[in-house]
A = this chain, B = another copy of it.
Amino acid sequence: MAELTDMTGKAFSRLRFESLLKRRFFFAEAFEIYRTSANAMADNRGLYDYGPPGCALQANIVNEWRNHFVIEENMMELDCTVITPEVVLKTSGHVDKFADWMSKDPVKGEYLRADHLIESVLEARLAKHRATDGEQKAGGLDDDTANEYGEILAKIDNYDGPALGELIKEHDIRNPNGNGEVLPPIPFNLMFKSTIGPSAAAPVYLRPETAQGQFLNFRRLLEFGQGTMPFASASIGKSYRNEISPRSGLLRVREFLMAEIEHYVDPATSKSHERFSEVEQINLPLLDKGTQLSGKTDIAIMSISEAVQMGLVENETLGYFLARVYLFLLNIGVDKSKLRFRQHLDNEMAHYAVDCWDAELLTSYGWIECVGCADRSAYDLSVHSKQTGTALVVKEPLAEPIEVEEWQATLDKKLLGPRFKKDAKKVEDAMASLEQETLENLGAELTEKAVITVPTEELTNGETSVELSGDICAIKKVTRIERLREYTPNVIEPSFGIGRILYSLLEHVYWYRPKDVARGVLSIPISVAPTKVLIVPLSNNASLQPVVKKLAARLRKLRISNNVDASSSSIGKRYARNDELGTPLGITIDFDTVSDGSITLRERDSTSQVRSSEDEIIQAVCSLVDGSESWEQVSQRLPAFTGQSQDD
């Protein structure tokens, strides 16, 4: 794999990058002060706190997300409860199927996620193989084996538990910590469990996704939208997954912020999307299923309309959302060259999905799934509807009523009770549950033999079928007029992991100035930058203080977040600190400000400066923040500041 480079083309140093994030408190391991003490904290990994810049960046990303998706498309936003009763997640399949495969090292007492164990061991062997370049016998991997490993890794997500167990046996995969053998993989459910209420009898889970709450409110949402289809609901909130072995910082955590859209669409019309024409020319980097199964990872760049026409992406609706996701990620500052859409392999998909494309971002940890776009079909609405007996369907008046011919069975109620007594209800239910095709066959049989046998639930005499003769039972073809069309919508779900996006974005915008390797710069776009403006008084002289206060208050009133740094450090140091915080603009107040009212505005990435009156500068700040002007435009319009360079 080619070496990862930063936006200026220099090698990316994760060490320096992470040191910056920690130093500037973007985030930190939760309960940090407890981790160094004797308190038992071994299994509390995968939990992070966001500090002020991380928290503001997260809030701004969420805000952009809300504008880009919810407000732009009039989605119905919900805030649903995290605590979820067991029956809901039993129905959705999560209690039985939302699990990862886990292998135990019985000697060390460690639990290892099976696919990650195989990945890390094979990758380590391959790395050793490449390093020795076939010259040494030690480490001895022949080229065929190396190729085999490469193919396994390309489709690692396609193996189920037993297959992972086979790989572990076949390739003698052991726990890297101590080299002990591990037990065959068993499934480990990823949901956190608790109980609710004082009786402790009611089991609940923390939701593993926000989706279920949205599905359960389908009827209310449809009514709120006055019946219009298609429509989308959306939700932003925390979800929880009890990962077997969290790692990679923010990329695999146990508590995380999600933003999910559920787009409900008539399966008869999902092939087309009303606003597809707005995005059809957008080129996307795609890595489809077939390419991966052939053991390759080549990306094809093509317009989304081409991808849909070729059948690579199943329909316009899914295609529309892929393009919208792409635009969103670029808007908030993701590096276009470190973004791809990868299609899920069949065994990799969640139990509810029929097709899925992930937006993946390239980081120093490899390609990371940051957005999943899944076609969940009618799976969830159907299972909840069945379990609750509540119709989760759309009813649409037909343009023209249609005649429907169908087979109908009737029972003579007067004879039914006396003849079947306690079993009467079961016989009735058995008849009502018969499919059209069965009814047609039974109808013919009844005409022919005057008696039919119908399967039932277990009856009082222990039988599981009943004989019905023509005196009590009739089966006829009838015609009825249908005025409504009824259907269960399909659901297209773009699902965003905000923490993963935030971390990957930070890697993408990190670089350093050649003259100052130890300090970094975060070129976060102004729209999502944690703080928009830094205000620095040249000195602590009392005459500057009222100007600083007034300016800060004025910016606050315009709802432009700002920070004053009146510390005794040099101006250069204060700017360098804020370059690390990703603050895009800096205003310097000096003694000339007191006399002539002029102030200096500095831009983070270029470090170039302009100087003008407070009103002019504030107006420029406003248009930079709302995106109506670029720095290039501002710096052409306003006089450059040619005084002493304050970055020295």
Contact = CB atoms under 8 A, between A and B. Distances in A.
A452 to B, nearest CB: 31
B36 A217 contact: no
Interface string A7-47: 00000000000000000110010111110110111111001
Interface stretch (A68-76, A141-149, A327-335, A422-430): A68-76
B201 A43 contact: yes
Interface in A368-424: 384, 387-390, 392
Given A81-B255, A198-B244, A88 B34 contact: yes
Contact of A49 (B34, B78, B201): B78
B77 A55 contact: yes
Nearest to A240: B83
B199 A44 contact: no
Given A43-B197, A81-B255, A388 B33 contact: yes
B74 A40 contact: no
B77 A217 contact: no
Contact of A52 (B78, B82, B195, B237): B78
Contacts of A221: 25, 51-52
B49 A213 contact: yes
A531 B60 CA distance: 20
Interface string A202-242: 10101000000100110111011010000000000110101
A56 B77 CA distance: 7
A622 to B, nearest CB: 13
Contacts of A392: 33
B202 A40 contact: yes
Instruction: Tell me if A's interface is mostly helix, strand, loop or mixed.
Output: mixed
Interface residues on A, range: 35 or more
A561 interface: yes
A556 interface: yes
A66 B58 CA distance: 14
Interface stretch (A186-194, A265-273, A503-511): A186-194
Contact of A224 (B25, B78, B206, B242): B25
Nearest to A559: B67
Contacts of A66: 59
A330 to B, nearest CB: 19
Contacts of A431: none
Contacts of A204: 44
Interface of A: 24-25, 28, 30-34, 36-37, 39-44, 47-52, 54-56, 58-59, 66-67, 71-72, 74, 76-85, 87-88, 102, 109, 111, 188, 192-199, 201-202, 204, 206, 213, 216-217, 219-221, 223-224, 226, 237-238, 240, 242, 244-245, 254-255, 384, 387-390, 392, 556, 559, 561, 563-565, 567
Given A30-B213, A58-B79, 8 more contacts: A32-B220, A33-B392, A34-B216, A50-B80, A111-B199, A198-B242, A198-B244, A206-B206
